[in-house]
Each structure stands twice: as C-alpha cells, then as structure tokens.
Amino acid sequence: MSEPTIVVIDDDPSARRGITRLVRAAGMHVEPFASAGDFLRSDLRGGPGCIVLDVRMPGMTGPELQEELGKADYCMPIVFLSGHANVPVAARALKSGAVDFLTKPVDGNDLLAAIRDALGRDAENRAQRDESSALNERLDELTPREHEVMTYVITGMLNKQIAAGLDISEETVKIHRRRVMRKLGIVSVAELVRLCEKAGIPPAR
C-alpha cells in the first residue's frame, strides 16, 4: 500500500503553510491545496490518508466538499478546522463522519493527534472494505443452487430437512454443502453463519 497522504485544504496561505510544515515535520507526507476545487481535480480523492479541511472557503465550503466526497464509494476521514466555534456546523460535520472539529488557531499537538486518529480510522476502514470485497468475490463463485442451500444450512437444519424443503435428494444437499464450504474456504457451520452475517445474507425462512 502507498504511503498515506495528509491533504490540507485551506484558502489562507499562512494557515496552509503552517499546517503543511507541522505535518511534514512529524514525518508524514502532506499535499496542500488552496481550494476544494483544486483538490477535486487531483488524483488523491481515494486516499489512503486523511483530509485537514477548513470550513469557510470561497467557492465550495468544507462541509459542501464533505457532502460531495460522501457520494463516492470511499472518502478519506476528515478533520475540520474553523476560525469560529460554530456548534451547529460542528455537530453536522461530526454526524456526517468527521473525525474531529478543531478551532483555529489550532494547537499543533491537538491537530497531530486528530490526524493520527484519522489515519487509524482510514486504515481500519480500508481493511474492512478489503475483507468485504474478498468475501463477495468468494460468494460470487457460488451457483444459485449452492447459494440457496447455504441459506438453509445457516438455519441449523439437518440435511434431510433441507432436502425436503428444496425437494431434492439428501445426497444432493451434501454435495452442495461440500462445494459451498470448499469455495468459501471454511470448515464449520459456525464459520458459515458468521460469514453470512458479515455479508448480510439472511437465513432461509
């Protein structure tokens, strides 16, 4: 995986330079932008990393950028900076997934702590997304009948009960069960239940 990038978006040149120096001095890779539009035209939207984002900017504001990025499949975690202690704006930003909302002039240690929290969240989110993607790939290998049998297996039914419910032979059920387990790389029904829960697959009714 490439090195995480700390994206700094602030229209104030002095603030942008100060934050950039602070982050760089902490040993992290940083990319500064003067506007939300400049950032959107870059190739950094997908991360890995996080965004340090000013609230009030000409053109697209910080919250507007957060809303725009939220429409994508994945958005880097955001740390907001504001020159005003605006409680409603902060509440909306945090409710929409922001990691923190700090007031300018920001304490350097507080900002670095928030950035590290954001990077930790980004790494965790990406790991979960990769796991989910790998799981979906394995599930896609199942045939429609194997998928159907799987939804019966996770109910705890016996093979003969599944066979009766699907109007197939018990031996056919056993064959499909073995194929499901092999394709998904698991050995127990308990594992299968957990896997289906993660994938949001409900048991047969």
Give the tens place of pLDDT for each residue, 122-167: 999 888 888 888 888 999 999 999 999 999 999 999 999 999 999 9
Question: Which residues are CB-neighbours of 129 under 8 A, at least 6 positions away?
Answer: 74
> For residue 205, is it within any domain?
no
Question: Last residue of a domain, which of 133, 152, 173?
Answer: 133
State mean pLDDT over 92-104: 90
Model pLDDT, residue 72: 82
The CATH number of residue 159's host domain is 1.10.10.10
> For residue 182, is it within any domain?
yes
Model pLDDT, residue 179: 96
Counting the structural domains of the chain, the total is: 2
What residue numbers bound the domain in which 129 lies?
5-133
Question: CA–CA separation, 99 vs 102, rounded Å?
Answer: 10
84 pLDDT tier (thresholds 50, 70, 90): confident
Give the tens place of pLDDT for each residue, 99-110: 999 999 899 999
Model pLDDT, residue 85: 67
Question: CA–CA separation, 13 vs 11, rounded Å?
Answer: 6
17 and 74 fall within a common domain: yes
Work out the burial of residue 176: count CB atoms within 10 Å of its CB; fewer than 13 is exposed, 13-18 middle, 19 or more buried. buried
193 and 92 fall within a common domain: no
70 and 104 fall within a common domain: yes
Higher pLDDT, 88 or 21: 21
Model pLDDT, residue 1: 54
11 and 112 fall within a common domain: yes
